[in-house]
Amino acid sequence: MNEYMKNCDLAAIITALGGRQALQDLLDVGPSAISNYLARGELPQRAHAPVCEALRLRGYQVHPGSLEILGQTQLAGGTGPTTNFRSDRPAQRVLLIVGGGIAAYKALEVARRLQDHNVEVTGVMTTGAQQFITPLSLAALTASQVYTDLFSLTDEAEMGHIRLAREADLVIVAPATANLMARAANGLADDLATTILLATTAPVLMAPAMNPAMWQHPATAENVARLANRGIQFVGPTAGDMACGEDGVGRLAEPAAIVQAALNCLSADSQPDDLSGLHAIVTSGPTVEPIDSVRFIANRSSGKQGHAIASALAARGAEVTLVSGPVSLPAPANVRLVQVESATEMLAACEAALPADIAVCAAAVADWRVENASSGKLKKTGNGQPPSLTLVENPDILNSLSTHQLRPDLVIGFAAEASDLQDNARAKLARKGCDWIVANAVTRSDGSSVFNSDMNSASLITGETAIDWPMMTKAELAVRLVNHITDHMADRLQAATLRDLVSQSASNRT
Residues labelled as active-site residues: 244
Quote the DSSP letter at residue 406. Answer: T
- Closest to ligand CTP by CB, 211 vs 284, is 284
Kindly tell me which of 169 and 367 has the beta carbon lying closer to ligand CTP: 367
CB 118 within 8 A of CB 92: yes
As measured in angstroms, the least distance from the Cβ of 434 to ligand CTP is 8
The CB-of-470 to ligand CTP minimum distance in angstroms stands at 21
| 498 alpha carbon, distance to own chain's centre | 32
What does the H/E/C string look like for 475-510? HHHHHHHHHHHHHHHHHHHHHHHHHHHHHHHHHHHC
Closest distance of CB 288 from ligand CTP, Å: 13
The rounded distance, in Å, linking the Cα atoms of 438 and 421 is 10
Q: Which one, 196 or 347, has the nearer CB to ligand CTP?
A: 347
Amino acid found at 44: P
**Pairing outcome for strands 92-98 and 170-176:** parallel
* 119, 156, 165, 170, 258 from 159: Cα distances, Å: 19, 5, 10, 17, 27
**Smallest distance from the beta carbon of 283 to ligand CTP, in angstroms?**
6
Our CB check for ligand CTP shows the closer of 238 and 400 to be: 400
- Contacts for 269 with CB less than 8 Å, ≥ 6 apart: none
- Separation of alpha carbons 355 and 162, rounded Å: 51
**Cβ–Cβ < 8 Å for 287, 252:** no
* DSSP code per residue over 296-324: EE-----SHHHHHHHHHHHHTT-EEEEEE
* Nearest approach, Cβ of residue 338 and ligand CTP (Å): 15
> Do residues 188 and 194 lie in contact, with contact meaning Cβ atoms separated by under 8 Å?
yes
Nearer to ligand CTP, 272 or 395 (CB): 395
**Rounded to 5 degrees, what are φ and ψ at 80?**
-80, 170
Smaller CB separation from ligand CTP, 283 or 302? 283
Minimum distance between the CB of residue 375 and ligand CTP, rounded to whole angstroms? 24
Site residues for ligand CTP per CB under 6 A: 283, 343, 361, 363, 365, 367, 394, 396-398, 413-416, 428, 432
